[in-house]
Amino acid sequence: TQQSFENPPMYVAVMTYLGFGIVTLFGYFRDFLRAVGLEKCHIAREREEQKDFVPLYQDFENFYTRNLYMRVRDNWNRPICSLPGPVFDVMERVSPDYNWTFSLTGKTIDNVINMGSYNYLGFAENDGDFLKTVADRTQQYGLGVCSTRQEMGNLAIHEELEQLVATFLGVESSMIFGMGFATNSMNIPALVGKGCLILSDELNHTSLILGARLSGATIWVFKHNNMQSLERLLREAVCSGQPRTHRPWRKVLIMVEGIYSMEGSVVRLPDIVALKKKYKAYLYLDEAHSIGAVGPTGRGVTELFGLDPSDIDVMMGTFTKSFGAAGGYIAGKKELVDSLRSHSHSAVYASAMSPPVTEQILRAMKCIMGLDGTTVGQARVHQLAENTRYFRSRLQEMGFIIYGNDDSPVVPILLYMPGKVVAFSRAMLKRKIGVVVVGFPATPITEARARFCLSAAHTKAMLDQVMYTCALLPTHVINIGLGVSMG
């Protein structure tokens, strides 16, 4: 499968830097006006009684927030008041003072096409029939658990879910946790520690980086999806050992993700597995976005590449995206999971998963596996693959610069300049399409982008509407480039 990452033309990079430069200068000017008193200062202030304390924030730390982010922050944190399905209702906000404060008007923008939520298989639904078992569990169990897994929070339904996840992935056993982010940050320290080496992809998620830092292991970063870079680091690690003492490393753990959510790229799994076998390293695969979303039956990147799940030492994933619930899991060999049952920070100190959420995952997973007696799950997996293929190929035909793998349901469209990104988001919302835009610092400074997340619940009509709305936007908002065909 193809992965493409076109580079922007030179003039775009220059214009972007210029743009940032101008806005920064303007920011300094505004700060000066605020300091002098010519401009009203909207920023929240420290208490009078604490004015002589060391300031909680340094001025320069918040420069970006004050002067750049504030002006455009209406494009994020948009509140909604309906199910996050293929269409949703966005609550209208107005700001009398250029985004320093918002107030809700009480009106909603109805039936906005949702291209932002991670609803890959369309399990974000409120159909009474589908959710009957979840409602029953809520009635029977209540909402919380009020205890940790090791104390009094280990419910029988948790164990049932763990067995189902293990069967789904084709591994020996699994363990579930109440939060996807915390699954990484609380379990990586239980697997590696001081004297171990972590080889982490450049674009790994914050939770992986936090987990790696909390573990105390040494972290080396290799270029995104670049096998030469990874091999060079592996050879260096095995041949040279730890820096200065040259003792051999206790363990080497390679951390990669299935689908990278900002790039839409898919990990080169066969190459990494070959490398890991050659150098006797361990592989930690974070399938937050890829579980359920890729692969002929939705089993993730291992299935996509036709690999044996036992080749991956630690399979991690979340239930937030393709299963419409919350939480995460780690799966693999029985020894691994047993070790986590006693050493995971989450098992000892954090709350167990809520029962209705557990039931939602159970029903969604049974649906995908076909255990509920229907083919609804498989139909959704196929529909998602269809939608992905269609959307990507049409956008490319139209001339947009798209990143990522042809199979990935995450579709970033490069817009490069920060101003365009903001205008794009506002223009799309006006035309009743909700998109996610990301800029610096979440992406490199010249690669601001809009990101579409496809869902099995999107109909062809919705996708067509999105594509044509994009194409018909005025060129000052989005410059598609040469060779636009609208056929």
Helix (H, G, I), strand (E, B) or coil at 12: helix
Taking the least distance from each CB to other proteins, the nearer of 185 and 446 is 185
Is residue 110 close enough to count as binding other proteins by CB under 8 A? Answer: no
Tokens representing residue 115 in the block: 């291209």
Q: Of these, 30, 34, 71, 213, which contacts other proteins (CB under 8 A)?
A: 213
* In the complex, minimum distance from the CB of residue 487 to other proteins, in angstroms, rounded to a whole number: 32
* In the complex, minimum distance from the CB of residue 481 to other proteins, in angstroms, rounded to a whole number: 27
Q: Of these, 13, 15, 23, 80, which contacts other proteins (CB under 8 A)?
A: 80
Q: Of these, 3, 133, 154, 167, which contacts other proteins (CB under 8 A)?
A: 154
Which residues 6+ apart lie within 8 Å of 259 measured at CB? 265, 266, 267, 287, 288, 289, 290, 293, 294, 301, 405, 408, 409, 410
The residue range among 219-227, 304-312, 316-324, 476-484 that interacts with other proteins, by the rule CB under 8 A, is: 316-324
Residues 367 to 396: which contact other proteins by CB under 8 A? Answer: none
Number of residues that bind other proteins (CB under 8 A): 123
Residues 115 to 144: which contact other proteins by CB under 8 A? Answer: 116-119, 123-126, 128, 131, 134-135, 138-144
Residues 334 to 373: which contact other proteins by CB under 8 A? Answer: 335-336, 338-343, 345-351, 354-357, 360
* In the complex, minimum distance from the CB of residue 474 to other proteins, in angstroms, rounded to a whole number: 25
Burial-class residue 188 by CB neighbours within 10 Å (0-12, 13-18, 19+).
Answer: buried
Helix (H, G, I), strand (E, B) or coil at 450: strand
Under 8 Å between Cβ of 184 and 344? no
Contact flags string 395-434 toward other proteins, x per CB under 8 A = ---------------------------------------x
Q: Where are the alpha helices (DSSP H) in 330-459?
A: 334-343, 345-349, 355-369, 376-398, 418-430
The residue range among 174-182, 371-379, 388-396, 476-484 that interacts with other proteins, by the rule CB under 8 A, is: 174-182
- Rounded to 5°, the CA angle 335-341-347 comes to 160
Under 8 Å between Cβ of 100 and 30? no
The amino acid sitting at 303 is E
Handedness of CA 354, 210, 224, 454 (dihedral sign): positive
Which residues 6+ apart lie within 8 Å of 344 measured at CB? 175, 177, 186, 187, 190
* In the complex, minimum distance from the CB of residue 374 to other proteins, in angstroms, rounded to a whole number: 19
Contact flags string 253-282 toward other proteins, x per CB under 8 A = -------------------------xxxxx
* In the complex, minimum distance from the CB of residue 433 to other proteins, in angstroms, rounded to a whole number: 12
Q: Of these, 32, 57, 98, 468, which contacts other proteins (CB under 8 A)?
A: 57
Helix (H) or strand (E) holding 212: helix 206-215
The amino acid sitting at 188 is I
Taking the least distance from each CB to other proteins, the nearer of 146 and 486 is 146
Contact flags string 276-315 toward other proteins, x per CB under 8 A = --xxxxx------------------------------xx-
Under 8 Å between Cβ of 257 and 286? yes
**Residue 257 Cα distances to 214, 435, 454, angstroms:** 19, 23, 19
Contact flags string 11-50 toward other proteins, x per CB under 8 A = ---------------------------------xxxx-xx
* In the complex, minimum distance from the CB of residue 256 to other proteins, in angstroms, rounded to a whole number: 16
* In the complex, minimum distance from the CB of residue 258 to other proteins, in angstroms, rounded to a whole number: 17
Cα–Cα distance between 405 and 450 in angstroms, integer? Answer: 16
Task: Tell me the chain's radius of gyration from C-alpha atoms.
Answer: 24
* In the complex, minimum distance from the CB of residue 70 to other proteins, in angstroms, rounded to a whole number: 11
Taking the least distance from each CB to other proteins, the nearer of 314 and 398 is 314
* In the complex, minimum distance from the CB of residue 11 to other proteins, in angstroms, rounded to a whole number: 28
The amino acid sitting at 78 is R
